[in-house]
């Protein structure tokens, strides 16, 4: 009887305030200064470092870069050949290198998560 009561109590305490799929959308304060056009941030050819602050989740992490899920032990940072992503506390910081000579434009996406909620940042860098 004690085991049954304990099991029922544990199961009842596992209910979440927000059921799966019902988490509040991530809210961001944009410290980047970048122009956003049709849902895509426009990065200048000179590159730079840009920060986005999550206002309603305390510690987002990287879920995927482009089409690929991050297969790493470190879901808080990613360094590619021409851009990097760092998640620290509630901030997501993107660093983009300057465009190489002869390259007119390039694109990338970063998807972050805080559990059962995801948000995607799209970037285009062009001359």
pLDDT digits (tens, 9 = 90+) for 14-46: 444 555 557 899 999 999 999 999 999 999 999
- Residue 2's pLDDT is what? 65
Number of domains the chain contains:
1
Residue 14 lies in a domain: no
pLDDT over 70 percentage in the chain: 80
Residue 10 lies in a domain: no
Residue 69 lies in a domain: yes
Residue 18 lies in a domain: no
Q: Domain with 119 in it: what CATH number? A: 2.60.40.10
Burial class (CB in 10 A: 0-12, 13-18, 19+), 94: buried
Which comes out higher in pLDDT, residue 1 or 33? Answer: 33
Find the Cα–Cα–Cα–Cα dihedral 24, 108, 41, 30, rounded to 10°: 50
Distance in angstroms (rounded) separating the CA atoms of residues 43 and 107: 9
The region of weakest confidence among 24-38, 53-67, 68-82, 110-124 is 68-82
**What pTM was computed for the model?**
0.81
């Amino acid at each position: 009887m004690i085991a049954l009561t304990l099991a029922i109590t544990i199961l009842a305490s596992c209910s979440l305030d927000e059921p799966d799929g019902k988490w509040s959308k991530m809210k961001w304060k944009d410290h980047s200064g970048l122009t956003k056009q049709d849902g895509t941030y426009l990065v200048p050819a000179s590159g730079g470092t840009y920060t986005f602050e999550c206002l309603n989740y305390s510690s987002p992490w990287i879920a995927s870069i482009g089409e690929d899920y991050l297969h790493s032990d470190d879901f808080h940072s990613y360094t590619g050949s021409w851009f990097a992503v760092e998640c620290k506390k509630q901030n997501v910081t993107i660093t983009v290198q300057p465009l190489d000579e002869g390259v007119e434009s390039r694109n990338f996406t970063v998807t972050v998560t805080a559990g059962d909620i995801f948000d995607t940042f799209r970037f285009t860098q062009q001359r």
